[in-house]
Structure 1
Amino acid sequence: MIDVETLIDHVRTYNPKSNSEKIRMAYAYGLKMHEGQTRHSGEPYFTHPIEVAVILAGQHLDDATLITALLHDTVEDTNSTYQEVTEMFGQEIADLVDGVTKLTNIELSSKETQQAENFRKLFLAMSKDLRVLLVKLADRLHNMRTIKHMRPEKQIKKAQETMDIFAPLAGRMGMQWMREELEDLSFQILNPEARSSIIRRFITLRSQTGDLIPQITKDIREALSAAHITAKISGREKKPFSVWRKMEEKKQSFSRLSDIYGFRIITDSEEDSYRALGVVHRRWKAVPGRFKDYISQPKSNGYRSIHTTVSGRDGKMVEIQIRTQDMHEMAEVGVAAHWAYRDGRQASNQFSVDPVEWLASLNERIEGSDDHEEFFEHVKLEMFADQVFCFTPKGDVISLPRGATPIDFAYAIHTRIGAACVGAKVDGHRVPLWTRLRNGQSVDIQTAVGQRPQSSWMEIAKTGRARTAIRRALREEHREGFVKLGAELARVALEHVGKRASDKALSTAAKKLGLPKKEDLLAALGSAEMTGADLVKALYPELLHDQSGEVNQPAGRIVGLDPEQFAQPAECCQPLPGERIVGIATRGKGVLVHTIHCEALIDYEDQPERWIDLRWTDGKGAPNNIATVEITMANDAGVLGRICTLIGEQNANISDLSFVDKKPDFYRVDIDIQVRDVEHLMNVVTAVEADSDIAQVRQTKRQPVLA
């Protein structure tokens, strides 16, 4: 664990005006807060925040970012509070620490839909201050460097999350070195055999041909020197994951793969960069279609460089990047350059971009998605995408991801242009709409009044913006027909189980399935996005199967009690299997079991010795747990009997019933129901709520009974 003075000395090398005392104070505070905590490796926990700060200091970042790194786990994992951090270090740092804490609490490795929603939260959190994401990326990098100390299943989960989300985010930020390292560390966990295979093939290649890197570097240096161009030249083998990805994409073996070597030429000026390109192309044969000029057309994150691939020594294809020193420094830190120091001054790089404008442009490129999965699809597409630049007839530049088509080009200009597209000319020649566009082409979109997006365009479009607009237009066009068909399908599905497709039932099902209104449910049924069985399952799951085979073990048993202790549910909250629970030791009554959110637990906050950590066993047991629901129903003949029947159909038993309030038009009734678990209770509530004569159904909470 490096000491604070070593960290401060390093920061002073690039920022002499650094507030060393504040860094010392953050170091001491973090060390105190994490005292006694250890990592999986057995090291003191505070070694992790220090290493995160060191990674960020390596990018020459400002004091606020480094202090946030030192404190980023204090509010989450110690007794520290947001208020305390604010008082000691100021509002800016407290907000940054809070932002990192919120990012940490977003669980990203989960079901696709939930993952997409969490991705929205991630973008919202990072939109307030991108330094939050910088700290989180450095945090993830150090965790990946030390991941071998975690359980194997945890390693796989974290590595997949890193590969899917954090690595491409680092790349989108312009921090390519971090993206490559995160990918390679993840690759080592997710596919160690493939990584080892790539490394062995590199070793075999070196033994057969010698180390080509210094040889090719010497060739480039001699060619540039002859043209009187001063430049720094470096070369390297591509990272194992980068090579593996190319092999997978191109379906080629290692021996047939080109450009497994990469070289970089750093010149003194932009003019020298273009002169160096001329020298390289005169000396070696350029590979067609592999030239990109990001100097004249920079990427949105500020990245500038010339990329070309040539056939070098012994016919080996090599990728060469040419840029100036300023461009190189920007390429190393990306958007983070806004907070970086150079020669003791902040944000002096002329190519650094405004992070607020950059984030706004990123959000604009992924805006307009109607649902979570579309959003997730667009974000991943935009983060992984390489770019091509095409021109409108007026000379305006349109930036698109690699593989984009004229349909994408049309929608990039305007949704109205995309919807009315009937054809396209590329460089003056009419081409099919599925043509893949290349850098520098001029594209002219032909439109016609009355044209509508075609379903076949979904296969043609590559950008999220175009696909979202097409999908929305197709849905709107067919929605009315889908709703009518869905209504008939709903009627048949519910009649099959003896129920009626009333407006109330359909609205209740829509709510249960997370849809805004019943028309959306009917449209989903009519378009085959949902089946009649899904509708019945949402309203009456117990009618879909025979419950006799569901009891697989005595669920409802509680784990965490001593052999001599016995437990009983607290009447105030009526805990059910499936809910988080805690036990309170009582005199003469054993252990009272409460739900974790029970208000009665407030009375025991100053008695921690009475608290017992409990949990339910897994499985589905018999319906012998009591839950009380309050039902507000119409005062009409037969309503109460129908409700009792509905409860019985859900394989739940009524153990008690009492009228709470009787009015001429409505009754309020408390019903004690025997259910298996909290999921069973929710099924009963949904089935009852779907009845047209029910105004409200809710689980009631009784008055606390204190021990």
Structure 2
Amino acid sequence: MNLIPADPTLAGPSALAPRPAAKAPGASASGLATSAPSMPPVLPAGVASVSHLADKLADYLSPSDLKKVKEAYRFSDEMHLGQVRRSGEPYISHPIAVAEICADWKLDAQAIMAALLHDVMEDQDVKKDELIERFGAPVASLVDGLSKLEKIEFQSQIEAQAENFRKMLLAMASDVRVILIKLADRLHNMRTLDVMAPAKKRRIASETMEVYVPIAHRLGLNNIYRELQDLSFSHLYPLRYRTLAKAVKAARGNRREVVKKILESVKSTLAIADIEAEVYGREKTLYGIYKKMRGKRLSFSQVLDVYGFRVVVDSFPNCYVALGTLHSLYKPMPGKFKDYIAIRKLNGYQSLHTTLIGPYGTPVEFQIRTQDMHRTAESGVAAHWLYKTGDSNLSDLQQRTHAWLQSLLDIQQQTGDSAEFLEHVKVDLFPDSVYVFTPKSKIIALPRGATAVDFAYSIHTGIGDHTVSVKINNETAPLRTELRNGDIVEIVTDTSSRPSPTWLSFVRTGKARSAIRHHLRTINLPESIVLGRQLLAQALLNLSIAPELPAALVERLLNESSAKSLDELYADIGIGKRMAALVARHLFGLIGGESASAPIDHNSAAELDPVTICGSEGVSVQLAPCCLPIPGDQIIGQLRRDQGLLVHTGDCTLAKRQRAKEPDRWIAVKWGVELNRRFDSRIKLLINNEKGILARVAAEIGESDANITYVGMDEDKEHVLHQLRFTIQVKDRVHLAGLLRNVRRVTGVNRILRERS
């Protein structure tokens, strides 16, 4: 059955010419639309054809489904009447092109309908209820998940973008077709991006490279992944792209004979081994070549493996038989073999990778896989879309993808705002992975650089929260140890243990980061509220505003800051999510002072009355491990996002560098009068290599009323002098000075000093 009706107004490319519009639609960032000009433009070549889409759908959709798609097309065509793209094409050509890409993946009728309708809510103000009535709730939900939140006012473009991504990704978590349609939409927009202004091209290309490319890779959509990469590269660095394209074209001619010779040799060798296989050459993407040149600092002539070969065999065992056959034909390069069949990638990709020394000493990469593996490698989750989650026979790829989508919901529940949610998700989109084992030999895939804490949270949030130590390959290791392929990891837990704020400095996965931040926000909420109230009060006094605010003013402040309560606002200030000086300036504007948006002196935060540090504030206030300040030191405080206040010494070199980068995140702090605790400090000694020296030094430290929490020793090459390092607990700077004098008198101690950052 043909989708195209007898009505000539819906019968092909000529029907797509713009007709006079009853209203002039606005511009659309999604479809790159603009208002209709006074004169209909001449249609350029290549306008998407409804008949071409119909032919694709007729191959796999039933007549009843085709009828529903036809109704969706008619409605979309009517809604976009007179609207044209910036290129001059009628706007309806864009939804048709998006639907064609979805049809290539053989998505169902609901997805095709949503692709045709994906801009009607955003551009034409069609309500969700109307879509439900016309096309059903599933289609309406898909379109809603694809529509931006343009009716909501956001404080910044970044916040608006983050909230739109959050909405789309959460919709994807419940129905993966949302992101498949969105990727098709983005792909067509990237293919037609040439008509945009250079600045907008760079912005859209950067957004594509940063978010959509890794999502396509994470879902195993390698064809889309590679094309989006190259298109983004061409718009971000047009000169580099053209230069590299020209070089590849020249190399293609020079290496034609080599490629032909390798193809003939491989085909004949596999035939002799009685292996049925398709063998074909493939050219690496321009962005892939550019990335290799830049990462390894190579010229184009030094990138020898521009071409590779793919061997698609008929069965799983023949993958390994073909590998052995190829290794007998050409010598393999050591360390260049990867088995992604036994341990597949996170996105379900499976292949054997090997690099061989081909004719004339040229390295040649081969990928060996079955037809099923090839289909999954090219189409990924689109080959087995996951909206039928009730199916008990989910493939391994479906289970992995479903678990990742579910993790998005977990991160959302623990995340404070959209920007933070997007930050966590981006972390999880890195393509490189390491594969480690539980003690029961279960394989866990984690991002490159993941630590033992990331591993613990990947098992379960409760295990991560109660982690106290880890064994890697049966040996105790620090929690911050980066895991390597093949490690066997065992987590030791204690129900009384809680996450440490320092974990945020080394965890890699979004799940671990969001869970730790959620714990710190909830468990330490009272401390954060007290600190935030103190910081805001001092900021207000600095502007001659009484800290006791009228109820009406508080209500206005909460409405404009999106905080639910004053305590939530205080907590946000206490954990560094909001700056007290900025909130105070905003209040100053609300009560009729100078504009709240007026420029703020970056040193204003440091000029407030100092915050008093008593040493017993808990994890909302921490002493920096780089310089370990003690009472008597000049100190300064750094407000870190979602981690509270970090106190450095005034001469800390790390603090000076960070303050130069973010001057508005630093405040003045001072020591309190009553300090009823001991503080860690590091000392370093240069001693003679003689009997009993360590015991004498340790005894003197004990007699000076200090406790030793760590001792280490470095030995010089001549074995004459040793360098001792102690971490000790002292009351204050005076106590430390007395200890240094006492230890300096010990026989065999040549030099002693306090160790700084």
Q: Give the structure-1-normalised TM-score.
A: 0.66
Cα RMSD between the aligned structures?
A: 4.2
1:285 alignment counterpart: 332
2:172 is equivalent to residue 172 of structure 1: no
**What's 1:363 paired with?**
408
After TM superposition, list the pairs within 5 Å mapping 1:70-109 onto structure 2. 70-77=116-123, 89-101=135-147
- Show the counterpart of 1:533: 581
Task: Provide the C-alpha distance between the structure 2 equivalents of 1:383 and 1:482, rounded to a whole number of angstroms.
Answer: 31
Structure with more contact order per residue of length (Cα contacts < 8 Å, sep ≥ 6): 1
- Rate the CA distance shift 1:277–1:436 in 2: closer, same or farther, 3 A: farther
Task: Specify whether residues 370 and 211 from structure 1 end up closer, same or farther in structure 2 by C-alpha distance, changes over 3 A only.
Answer: farther
- In the aligned structure 2, how far is the partner of 1:454 from the partner of 1:94? 44
Q: Distance in 2 between matches of 1:454 and 1:358?
A: 26
Q: Are positions 1:496 and 2:542 aligned together?
A: yes
- Do the aligned partners of residues 22 and 365 (structure 1) sit closer, same or farther apart at CA in structure 2, a change above 3 Å counting? closer
| Separation of aligned partners in 2, 1:90 and 1:519 | 43
Q: Secondary structure at the match of 1:45?
A: coil
Once the two structures are TM-superposed, the CA of residue 177 in structure 1 deviates from its matched residue by: 0.7
Give the CA deviation at 1:36: 3.1
Show CA shifts across 1:528-575 (max 9, x none).
55444213112113799867x989xxxxxxxxxxxxxxxxxxxxxxxx
Task: Specify the alignment match of 2:678 in structure 1.
Answer: none
Q: Which residue number in structure 1 is paired with residue 487 of structure 2?
A: 441
Distance in 2 (alpha carbons) for counterparts of 1:79 and 1:476 = 40
Structure 2 residue aligned with 1:182? 228
* Counterpart Cα distance in 1 of 2:302 and 2:506: 30
Rounded to whole Å, the distance in 1 between the matches of 2:67 and 2:74 is 11
C-alpha contact (below 8 Å) 1:525/1:532 kept by paired residues:
yes
Q: Which residue of 2 aligns with 1:612?
A: none
Letter in 1 for 2:398: V
Q: Distance in 2 between matches of 1:18 and 1:314?
A: 59
Which one of the candidate residues 232, 244, 265 is aligned to 2:290? 244
CA contact (8 A) 1:172 1:383 kept: yes
Amino acid across the alignment from 2:235:
I
**Alpha-carbon spacing, 1:36–1:404, altered in 2? closer, same or farther (3 Å):** same
Q: Verify the 8 A CA contact 2:241 2:286 in the aligned structure 1.
A: yes
- Cα 1:274–1:493 change in 2 (3 A) is same
**Offset of 1:437 from its aligned partner?**
2.5
- 2:35 is aligned to none
- Deviations along 1:496-525, one digit per CA (max 9) or x if unpaired, are 222222276796556643344444444554
1:519–1:332 Cα change, 3 Å? same
The answer to whether structure 1 residue 376 and structure 2 residue 432 are counterparts is: no
Task: State the secondary structure of the residue aligned to 1:60.
Answer: coil
* CA–CA distance in structure 1, aligned partners of residues 507 and 96 of structure 2: 46
Residue 459 (structure 2) aligned to one of 413, 420, 437: 413
Aligned equivalent of 1:229 = 275
With over 3 angstroms needed to count, the CA separation of the structure-2 counterparts of 1:12 and 1:469, relative to structure 1, is closer
- Percent of aligned pairs sharing the same letter: 40
Decide whether the 8 Å contact of 1:53 with 1:70 is kept in 2.
yes
Task: Please say which of residues 143-152 and 538-547 is displaced more in the overlay.
Answer: 538-547
Pair 1:496–1:86, CA change in 2 (3 A): closer
Change (3 A) 1:35 1:521: closer
* 1:133 counterpart = 2:179: yes
Q: Which residue of 2 aligns with 1:45?
A: 91
Classify 1:318/1:512 alpha carbon distance in 2 versus 1 (closer, same or farther; 3 Å).
farther
Conservation of the 8 A alpha-carbon contact between 1:206 and 1:212 = no
Deviation at 1:391, TM superposition (A): 0.8
CA contact (8 A) 1:406 1:433 kept: yes
Q: State how far apart, in whole Å, the 2-side matches of 1:347 and 1:70 are.
A: 31
Q: Quickly say closer, same or farther: Cα 1:311–1:29, change in 2 above 3 A.
A: same
Q: Distance in 2 between matches of 1:447 and 1:347?
A: 33
Quote the offset at 1:249 in angstroms.
Answer: 4.3
1:403 aligns with 2:449: yes
C-alpha distance in structure 2 between counterparts of 1:193 and 1:460, whole Å: 38
Give the direction of change, closer, same or farther, for the CA distance of 1:109–1:211 in structure 2 (3 Å limit). Answer: farther
Question: Matched residue of 1:353: which SS?
Answer: helix
Deviation (angstroms), 1:267: 1.5
Structure 1 residue identity aligned to 2:426:
K
**Residues 228 and 63 from structure 1, CA distance in 2 versus in 1: closer, same or farther, beyond 3 angstroms?**
same
Identify if the C-alpha distance between structure 1 residues 59 and 310 changes in structure 2 by more than 3 Å, giving closer, same or farther.
same
Determine if contact 2:229/2:287 at 8 Å carries over to the other structure. yes
> Structure 1 residue 128: deviation in Å?
4.2
1:448-472 residue CA offsets vs partner (Å, 9 max, x unmatched): 6765545543332211122233444
Q: How much has 1:197 moved relative to structure 2?
A: 3.2
Change in CA separation of 1:98 and 1:474 when aligned onto 2, cut-off 3 Å: closer
Give yes or no for the alignment of 1:324 onto 2:377: no
1:513 is matched with 561
CA contact (8 A) 2:168 2:178 kept: no
Structure 2: distance between partners of 1:468 and 1:352: 25
2: CA distance, partners of 1:449 / 1:348: 36
- What secondary structure sits across from 2:335 in the alignment? coil
Q: Counterparts of 1:103 and 1:243 in 2: how far apart (Å)? A: 38
CA 1:390–1:37 in structure 2 vs 1: closer, same or farther (change >3 Å)? same
Quick one: which of 503, 512, 534 aligns to 1:466?
512
Structure-2-length-normalised TM-score: 0.62
Which residue identity is paired with 1:288?
G
Seen in structure 2, the aligned counterparts of structure 1 residues 358 and 81 have a Cα distance that, compared at 3 Å, is same
Deviation at 1:400, TM superposition (A): 1.0
Report the 3-state secondary structure (helix = DSSP H, G, I; strand = E; otherwise coil) of the residue aligned with 1:399: strand
Mapped to 2, the partners of 1:399 and 1:332 lie a distance apart of 21
1:54 corresponds to which residue? Answer: 100
CA distance in 2, matches of 1:205, 1:430: 52
Q: Distance in 2 between matches of 1:231 and 1:108?
A: 56
**Matching residue's letter, 1:142:** H
Change (3 A) 1:222 1:482: same
For 2:509 and 2:366, the matched residues in 1 are separated by: 28
Q: Match for 1:193 among 224, 239, 243? A: 239
Counterparts in 2 of 1:462 and 1:258: CA distance versus 1, 3 Å? farther
**Structure 2 CA distance for partners of 1:322 and 1:117, relative to 1, 3 Å:** same
Matching residue within 347, 353, 359 for 2:398: 353
Closer/same/farther in 2, CA of residues 257 and 366 from structure 1, 3 Å limit: farther
Where 1:288 maps in the other structure, the secondary structure is: strand
The 1:259/1:504 distance shift into structure 2, 3 A limit, reads farther
Structure 1 position 178, deviation (Å): 0.9
Q: Distance in 2 between matches of 1:372 and 1:185?
A: 28
- The separation in 1 between residues aligned to 2:593 and 2:549, in whole angstroms, is 25
2:614 maps to none
SS at structure 2 position matched to 1:236 = strand
**Distance in 2 (alpha carbons) for counterparts of 1:95 and 1:145:** 27
- Compared CA separation, residues 437 and 285, structure 1 to 2 (3 A): farther
Partner SS, residue 384 of structure 1 = coil
The offset of 1:409, in angstroms, is: 1.4
User: What is the Cα deviation at residue 436 of structure 1?
Assistant: 3.3
Secondary structure of 2:445 counterpart? strand
Structure-2 separation of matches of 1:491 and 1:90: 54
Distance 1:80 1:97 in 2: 11
